[in-house]
């Protein structure tokens, strides 16, 4: 029985990654205004932004190197941050929740359509993180 349990666990970990669900909100304004709104909303929660990943710039810069001339975004940034309070709470519930930290909120611009969004968190304790992300995103879009 122990062998069977180990085999099932091993196969589950080897399964291909499944696409993540996301929530996005339309932003009425420019990309720069949206990034400022996200930064302000994160800091307004008493949180510190650890890093801003300029994904749009990287994709534009490397497109030709990977044989693509498809423009994905006019601009795209991801703001990475954690919450000591919420992170501790969800990791005390399950240490494996470290895999979700830091948390990210992204801003994209494609042909003037600016959006703010985040990746969904798993059911259970991580829903508290999802509520935090949703509150920040909604604050940034003015809801």
pLDDT at residue 20 in the model: 67
Q: Where do the domains of the chain lie, and which CATH numbers do they carry?
A: 20-141 (3.30.310.70)
Residue with tokens 């042909």: 111
- Look up residue 109 and give its DSSP letter: E
What pLDDT digit, counting tens, does each position of 49-58 carry?
A: 999 999 999 9
Average pLDDT over residues 21-38: 97
Q: What is the rounded distance in angstroms from the CA atom of residue 79 to the CA atom of residue 113?
A: 19
Residue 10 has pLDDT above 80, yes or no: no
Condensed to tens digits (0 to 9), the pLDDT of residues 129-138 reads: 999 999 999 9
Which pLDDT value is given to residue 18?
47
pLDDT given for residue 15 in this prediction: 40
Q: What is the pLDDT of residue 40?
A: 98
The answer to whether 97 and 3 are in contact (CB under 8 A) is no
Taking the alpha carbons of 30, 31, 33, 38 in that order, is the dihedral positive or negative? positive
pTM, full prediction: 0.84
């Amino acid at each position: 029985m122990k062998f069977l349990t180990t085999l099932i666990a091993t196969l589950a970990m080897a399964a291909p990654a499944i696409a993540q669900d996301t929530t996005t909100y339309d932003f009425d304004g420019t990309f720069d205004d949206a990034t400022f709104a996200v930064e302000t909303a994160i800091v307004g929660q008493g949180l510190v932004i650890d890093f801003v990943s300029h994904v749009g710039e990287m994709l534009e810069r490397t497109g030709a190197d990977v044989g693509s001339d498809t423009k994905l975004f006019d601009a795209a940034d991801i703001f990475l941050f954690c919450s000591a309070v919420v992170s501790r709470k969800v990791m005390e519930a399950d240490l494996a929740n470290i895999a979700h930290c830091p948390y990210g909120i992204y801003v994209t611009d494609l042909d003037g359509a600016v959006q703010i969004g985040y990746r969904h968190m798993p059911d259970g304790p991580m829903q508290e993180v999802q509520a935090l992300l949703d509150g920040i995103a909604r604050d940034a879009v003015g809801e």
